[in-house]
Amino acid sequence: MTDPHVLTRQLQKSNDSKIVLLVGDGLGGLPLTPGGKTELESALTPNLDALASRGCLGQTIPVLPGIAPGSGPGHLGLFGYDPLQYQIGRGVLEALGIDFELGPKDVAIRGNFCTIDGAGIITDRRAGRIGSEIGAALCEKLNQIKIPGVEVFVRPVKEYRLVIVFRSEGLGGQVHDTDPQATGKAPLEAVAKSDCSKKTAEICNEFLRQAKEILKNDAPANFLTLRGIDTLPAIPTFQEVYGMKPAAIAVYPMYRGLARLVSMDVLDAGQTLDDQMSCLKAAWNDYDFFFIHFKYTDSTGEDGNFAAKVKRTEELDSCIPKILQLDPTVVIVTGDHSTPSKMKSHSWHPVPVLLSADTCRFDGSTKFGESQCARGGLGTFEAKYLMLQAMAHAGRLEKFGA
């Protein structure tokens, strides 16, 4: 099919409408027992349910049926960028999220501090979720690593997460992760996926060799794994594609990085959902499109904590009145992927989506949950088309053809 960006560039028109995209990260879930309720269906969500009763529901497929997406592809799809066309390593997103200016000679890597035992086996992939101040101190130590012919930058992100950037001539971003994605296994060696990235893989392995020696006495964070190794890609801006001035209100660096990747203005979102709502209100007159990110429906799912995810979903519900007080033209509530507590991981399941606007064709929905979304009027569609729905309901698309 034709790239939808071709149509949005051709058909976009300006008006005074406001669109809010509220993303509950990993929102979709599963019941713990067959026939039971998901986390979203178990939560008390009176505000979302009221919004559903005057809007319309559906489900999105982040990438393709059966494919469990990472957060990067999941969000790019929501922004209307085909995640199969724009494949971007998490290292780039994390670097942009902490305002690191990536250049053409840079390779960016997301690092995770981890715990290894005396035999070099990973016993905790997140090093006990160390505090950010501990992670920052460890990054200072790693920033002293020297590799001939390479500039090395090590920066803290949040808790156990860090960013490593290598700057040199002839670096490629096609290198496999060193995280085995499981405890009880040794970290993997960095292996190039292509000849043009062999130099990068060699640098990664030398960095890890030195890091192991530097961190050997710093348990629980006595080693690290490397993920999402990549270079900065060329990607069209959100405003160019849609003709709207966009703002991102996100707390976590990676999601701020995703927004910055498509040239959204990344605002100071504070640390809490209340802070984010205050930011939204203060910026309301300056932008046309607002991306608001809420992390904790995902992290509780990954922890396998069904009850905690229910509580975080209820917290997300509590911000809806503050959004509606601003009288947005279109409100969309969805997730970038599903993270069922039952699975403790991202999954391939379709993601619930709620769209509310005065131009909705009501579908009889009464509650925002997976079962009703599966029967909703929006149907099941690829996430990359969600922005077309948003623009249409905001009156921002001209008629196609004569």
Q: What is the pLDDT of residues 99-138, one digit of tens each?
A: 898 999 999 999 999 999 999 999 999 999 999 999 999 9
Token duo for residue 179: 């995280």
Q: Is 361 helix (H, G, I), strand (E, B) or coil?
A: coil
Burial class (CB in 10 A: 0-12, 13-18, 19+), 127: buried
Report CA torsion sign: 319, 322, 323, 329: positive
* Residue intervals in the chain for CATH 3.40.720.10: 4-86+235-393
Closest CA to 255 of 377, 348, 161: 161
**pTM for this one?**
0.86
At residue 4, the pLDDT reads 86
Closest CA to 313 of 38, 39, 55, 46: 39
At residue 193, the pLDDT reads 96
140 CB neighbour count, 10 Å cutoff: 12
At residue 89, the pLDDT reads 87
**4-86+235-393 is classed CATH 3.50.50.60:** no
Question: Using only C-alpha atoms, what is the Rg of the chain?
Answer: 21
- Buried (b) or exposed (e) across 79-115, using 16+ Cβ within 10 A? bbbbbeebebbbbbbbbbbbebebeeebbbbbbbbbb
- Kindly indicate the confidence band of residue 254, based on its pLDDT and cuts at 50, 70 and 90: confident
Question: With contact defined as beta carbons under 8 Å apart, do 224 and 209 qualify?
Answer: no
